[in-house]
Amino acid sequence: MSGAGVTHDLVVVGSANADLVVGVERRPGAGETVLGSDLAVHPGGKGANQAVAAARLGARTALVGRVGDDAHGRLLTASLTDAGVDTAALRVGGAPTGVALITVDPSGDNSIVVSPGANSRLTPEDVRASADLLRSAAVVSTLLEVPVETVAEVARIAAAPGGPRLVLNPSPPRELPREVLAACDPLVLNEHEARVLGATAAGRGAAEELLRLGARSVVVTLGADGAVVADASGTAHVPSVKVDAVDTTGAGDAFTAALAWRLGAGAALREAAAYAARVGAVAVTRAGAQESYPTAAEVSA
């Protein structure tokens, strides 16, 4: 979808969390206690992260989500507003704001436990109330930190005639209804998530399997090895950009947001993924999630 009816480049339907981050020398084993750094609190959540990342790049972006009426909710609303995200469809109340408990080791790898909070109260009715906003977008992006039935409602709006293009990152992974998979253009996921969705191969094979299972197009991210993209025109490898990683938190969200924005602007899947790889590469060289996201000028440099 493109043209005069588009007033947003990207609408994200998804989660907003406060990220509670502690640095550790190594992650604890079962029954083990390790000492960490001072606690840092950052605005996060895969939905809010994508919205901020796209807005930083210059996209006209909105977030459909839910936060609590609490300090974490106010932190997230301020972060989104400061980045230029339209928050008119960000609902308040119903439960405490979602929280992600994150440990980061010296290599930059992280482990995350999420308490969904208000995110789990984002309903299909909330999506229907924002249907005009979704239809105003070139692309709608969503993820699985909100209920599957809510994601299914997004897919129904996207699949209708004249609907926006749908990008889905199935994280945290779980089985998808057939109609949701069929609306994904693309499905953006890593190899672990691909296995949960039914792929038995890795890399290129996983992408091609997920196409056969019903997705319109697929992007399988491979970490330092880049990504594989697959659609009706074929399958291709997109190399990574080599950088020294400081913190990988939220980098996948930056990749997905950049990919979605470039697709909405008319880029081919491989071209959009190559741009997204550059955005993700900048993000991992900086600490934090939303704080690490680059502007378009920084990506060009």
- Residues acting as catalytic residues: 253
Provide CB contacts within 8 A for 181, sequence distance 6+.
Answer: 187, 197, 210, 213, 214, 215
**Residues 203, 220: contact at Cβ < 8 Å?**
yes
Kindly state the DSSP code that residue 240 receives in the 8-state scheme.
P
The answer to whether the peptide bond before residue 116 is cis (omega within 30 degrees of 0) is no
Residue among 130, 61, 186, 98 at smallest CA distance from 53: 61
Coil/strand/helix, residue 102? strand
CA dist., res. 235 & res. 238, Å (int): 10
Radius of gyration of the chain (CA): 18
* Coil, helix or strand at residue 252: helix
What H or E segment, with its residue span, contains residue 256?
Answer: helix 251-264
The DSSP secondary-structure symbol of 45 reads -
Instruction: In whole angstroms, give the CA distance from residue 211 to residue 201.
Output: 13
Residue carrying structure tokens 């038995």: 200
